Amino acid sequence: MTANPPQDYDSLRTLMSERYESLSKRLRQIAKFAWDNPTIMAMETTAVIAERAGVQPSALIRFAKAFGYSGFSEMQRTFQAHVTARSASYKERFREVAERESAAGGSPAGMLQEYCEANRDALTHLQDETDPAALEQAVALLRDAEFIYVMGQRRSFPVASYIYYNLNHLDCRAQLLTGMGGMLLEHAASMAPGDVLVAISYSPYSEETAKVVAAAREKNVPVIVLTDSSLNAIARDATVFFDIHDAEVFSFRSLAASMCLAQALTTALASERSARSSNRGNGRNKQNGDKTKARRRRK
């Protein structure tokens, strides 16, 4: 029970993330639904929300009281304030989508325009919402790692493969965990505390990725996670994680934002490695210069 309930949506989301593991199974189910569907939480009746979340209406009341609210209606006002504040921008975006769909007419050029617009929104969100400190921490972990393991299944696999490709071009010691030959956990067992695991997983989440992340944490191996919610298992086990919302058009989800983040991380790593190599070279040159001067003095 929280003494003082959160007064705004962002504070409530933060508290839900912090307390997620301590909640009962049923309340975790509601927390995940609320995280993914704030508009439904704001606009629908208790009965509809309960049905959509797969719980009894009484569970919603327990959920609200667990966060310090007097009842579900008080909690719902927090969601309503959030949705109201964003309604103008939503209406504008919906109007633009409708205009684009009308102009597209189902043509290939129209489809391209639709995907470009949706991915532009996703990239703007990525730029605005990504924590610079998380980027710095992730690059530092990659820079200092003895060995880098990369894991991503199904839709996440192209991102994992691209990161692995870049790491190899940087001459990093790295391995892409694919599970070929049914040896996924055996390959993951070689992880050691000086290594780093990069794990990518989006809804519906990969059980194999979750198992590898859990194995890494048991060995105190730092984990960098790219995912779409802080409430899933791999995000909770992450040393540093990135919450990415890729574009979705006609139920097809893009990977543009994920690939952009992968590029940023590996390019920043290349810069770090280059700077470190340059510093080492300058140090060696200075040492060699000192030795040459010493020899000349002896002569």
Low-confidence ranges of the chain (pLDDT < 50): 88, 90, 299
pLDDT of amino acid 203: 75
| Range list of β-strands (E), the chain | 148-152, 174-177, 196-200, 223-227, 240-243, 248-249, 252-253
Residues 6+ apart with CB under 8 A from 1: 65, 66, 68
**pLDDT score for 293:** 55
What is the tens place of the pLDDT at every residue in 163-201?
Answer: 999 999 888 899 898 887 788 888 888 898 899 999 998
| pLDDT score, position 197 | 94
Q: Which two tokens stand for residue 207?
A: 């059980």
| pLDDT value of position 245 | 83
Instruction: Map residue 144 onto helix, strand or coil.
Output: helix
β-pair type (223-227, 252-253): unpaired
pLDDT at 207: 81
Given this model, what pLDDT does residue 200 score? 92
Domains of the chain: 1-104 (1.10.10.10), 132-278 (3.40.50.10490)
pLDDT at 60: 93
